[in-house]
Structure 1
């Protein structure tokens, strides 16, 4: 046996970012929400009205998870009736750029396999 000191330790997958990507892709509505926000639809009621099959309950769960991850920011306006809007955070912009890269990679894989 060689008694030389090891130069490298085992590389592990980044747990938090991997969980975040898995959770976002696991929610079938997150990508749709990002698309709505990119097109200026930032109020929950308008989001529900804009997408067939999207319920208020599911949307609220999706938005809450995205806010917890820091991808989206919830803005509550002190008005009557109350107004709530969502926007992508600076961190969210970085995260969405990674999702775009994953989409591009998937397209390349699809081309290779077809």
Structure 2
């Protein structure tokens, strides 16, 4: 009798992307920030004023995490007074589409209950 060869190996979740999704979904403000950016609200002060309960400290932490993952980019303008805006990167646009699909999946699960 021949021993069966293993065809498949155990597949682990991709460490960086899994950590990224967990971190972004764990931050309750990231999805709100993406929505703000999609609506052309891309300056930090304007973001804080647009969302009840969002503080500058929390926003800065959220923006920093998203920049580290390459989802958004900080654009600093050489002006007086200084001006900073944030934009979603091409990678970030792909990532946001994935999050949108996760949201649709959640809606389907919820509607089945």
Does the TM-score normalized on the shorter chain lie above 0.5?
Answer: yes
TM-score normalised over the length of structure 2: 0.96
Structure 1 residues not aligned, in runs of 5+: none
Paired residues for 1:16-95 under 5 Å: 16-95=16-95
Structure 1 runs of 4+ aligned residues shifted over 4 Å read none
TM-score normalised over the length of structure 1: 0.95
Structure 2 residues not aligned, in runs of 5+: none
Number of aligned positions between the proteins? 113
CA RMSD of aligned residues (A): 1.1
Q: Give the superposition deviation at 1:3.
A: 2.2
Q: Give the superposition deviation at 1:5.
A: 2.0
Aligned to 1:10: 10
| Residues 75-107 of structure 1: CA deviation (Å, up to 9, x unaligned) | 000100000000000000000000000000000
